[in-house]
Amino acid sequence: MKEINSTHLADLSLPIKSLFTGYLLAIGLGLLMAGGQILLTHGMADGKFGLSVDDIVYSYYGDRTGSKLEAKLNGSMKDNAPPEVRLTMIKWARAGAPANEWETTIKPLTEQYCVACHANIPGLLNVGEKEVMLKVAATDSGASIASLTRVSHIHLFGIAFIFFFVGWIFSYASGFGTLVKAGLIFFPFAFLILDVAAWWLTKLNPNFAWLVILGGFGYSAASTLMIFSSLYQMWFMKGAR
């Protein structure tokens, strides 16, 4: 690996530039897709497109005046069933999800409008099952401890690897002071930890929801700056040789 012992990105050999560029382009596209996925999931928690503090609160703290079923039917699942069907399900949830109405009223509706996706797509709750539906119809207390634990360790392990390699490539960039470069390399890790910690804090208190947005924006901005700076210096900056 002697080829990457050059001082600056502009001085790297063509094969190494190609390797770094392919990685950075793929990661950049992945970050864009992740942002889109957040807008289509968390961003619809309050029933309106676009990420807001309310979306974060509903996702992690929950809407403790209603149920997840109602939130989904008024949000991301709104277009998947006609208004009268959604109203029937919401009234059932608000009434405490009486078990005697499951077989005659609610189950036929889930079979017609829900189970085509929810019983066949991995990761989606099978709301065609009574026990699952009763949990979804209960008061919404946000993300569960089990799901927070699972998602937290996946994010910390997986995204940290991404930031490690982005930061490693950026460490060959020129035109940045040592402290500035070190800060940009460290910031994504710091904001990632803040982001994950804020999920747990918001689960306890909705006033911490702002920290989730700050963490996500912080590591996205820092990593975007490093990606674009690295690509620019590799291909548009004149090297020493």
Pair 125, 136: CB distance under 8 Å: yes
Residue (of 178, 237, 232, 241) closest to 21 by Cα position: 232
Per-residue model confidence (pLDDT) at position 1: 44
- Strand-pair partners of 139: 67
Q: Across-strand partners of 94?
A: none
Measure the CA–CA gap between 216 and 203, rounded to whole angstroms: 17
pLDDT of residue 47: 65
Q: What are phi and psi of 62, to 5 degrees?
A: 95, 170
Q: What residue spans define the domains of the chain? A: 14-43+143-235, 69-136
Distances (CA, A) of 111 to 29, 91, 125, 201: 37, 18, 13, 37
Q: Give the C-alpha distances (Å, rounded to integers) separating 223 from 12, 17, 31, 115, 143.
A: 21, 18, 9, 39, 27
| Residue 196 vs residues 16, 129, 141, 161, 213: alpha-carbon distances, Å | 34, 32, 18, 16, 11
Residue 152 exposed, middle or buried by CB count within 10 Å (0-12, 13-18, 19+): middle
pLDDT at 188: 97
Query: What local confidence, expressed as pLDDT, does residue 240 receive?
Result: 53
pTM of the model: 0.72
* 241 residues of the chain, pLDDT tens digit each: 444 445 789 999 999 999 999 999 999 999 999 988 888 777 766 667 778 888 898 889 987 777 888 888 888 788 888 999 999 999 998 888 898 899 999 999 999 998 888 888 877 888 888 888 888 888 778 888 999 999 999 999 999 999 999 999 999 999 999 999 999 999 999 999 999 999 999 999 999 999 999 999 999 999 999 999 999 999 998 765 5
Output the pLDDT for position 168.
Answer: 96
Residue 123 falls in which region: left (phi positive, over 0), alpha (psi -120 to 50) or beta: left
Question: Is 93 in contact with 69 (CB distance < 8 Å)?
Answer: yes
CA atoms within 13 A on the CB side of 196: 20
